[in-house]
Homo-oligomer: A and B are copies of this chain.
Amino acid sequence: MRKIETCISPDLVHLHDLEGKTVVVVDIFRASSTMVTALSNGVHCIKPLKDLEECRSYKDQNWLIAGERDGKQAEGFDLGNSPLAFLDNIFAGKNLAMTTTNGTRAISLAENDSREILIGAFLNLQATVDYLKGTTNDVLVLCAGWKGKFNLEDSLFAGALSLELGWKHNCDATLAMEALFQKAEKNLTGFLQKASHTKRLQNHQLEKDIDFCLHLNKYRSVIYLDSGLLKMKPSEKNKKRLSQQKNSLNS
């Protein structure tokens, strides 16, 4: 029996055993949504970084740099944390260094102990579910939260993911969030109107970002961490093409 559990805050990750697990890091508003969007729009790779200064230093190597703190673009950065900035393949082929208030911290917490790290968002929910069904590891959903506290949108994603996977589990947080997602799914935007982060983004006139991040299954991308870099898993179609190229080179 495959297992799934939810860690509702990075500050509780020490209570979970990550070894051998696939950790799905989620920060719906907006880090994980932005990562999924950037890589689905041709960005070559993303280096997630905790520190603003370290992130800024990537500029010297001709990387694009994105920095956000408390919902706002950090000074001296090319970009903030809006997924909309990456649409239409505008930065295709670029390398991106990125630091955000909560999301990049959650990634670094899972980096040492887990077997694999994925980036989950509503935007790539089904693709992530399909990928997980094809693997054998147990799964832990790590919610980025807000400065250590529980937040509604990340936890709802955990519920949605678990419902789609349909595995049995013994995790109260997952159970709660499944029930909550079932209540919220018909009108996710309406349900999240009162959420603290929604209000924070509305204060910065970022309603379009909210709507975009709550779009289900816009992308078929599976995003994973590979030696410290976030990349897109090759799709089945691409895998076939690459294998044919390899075969024709060998023949």
Give residues in A with beta carbon < 8 Å to B.
Answer: 8-9, 11-12, 15, 146-152, 155, 170-173, 175-176, 179-180, 183-184, 191, 194-197, 199
Chain B residues closer than 8 Å to A149, beta-carbon distance: 12, 15, 172-173
Beta-carbon contact of A171 and B196 below 8 Å: yes
**Closest CB of chain B to A201's CB: distance in Å?**
14
Beta-carbon contact of A8 and B11 below 8 Å: no
Q: A12-B12, A12-B150 are in contact. List 20 more A-B contacts (CB 8 A).
A: A8-B150, A9-B9, A11-B11, A11-B15, A12-B148, A15-B149, A149-B173, A150-B173, A151-B172, A152-B176, A170-B196, A171-B196, A172-B195, A172-B197, A175-B195, A176-B176, A176-B180, A179-B180, A179-B191, A180-B180
Q: How far is the CA of A8 from the CA of B15 in the complex (A)?
A: 14
The binding surface of chain A is classed by DSSP as helix
Beta-carbon contact of A175 and B147 below 8 Å: no
A-B contact pairs, 19 of them (CB 8 A): A9-B12, A11-B11, A11-B15, A12-B148, A15-B147, A15-B148, A15-B149, A146-B172, A149-B172, A149-B173, A155-B176, A170-B196, A171-B196, A172-B195, A172-B197, A176-B180, A179-B180, A180-B180, A183-B183
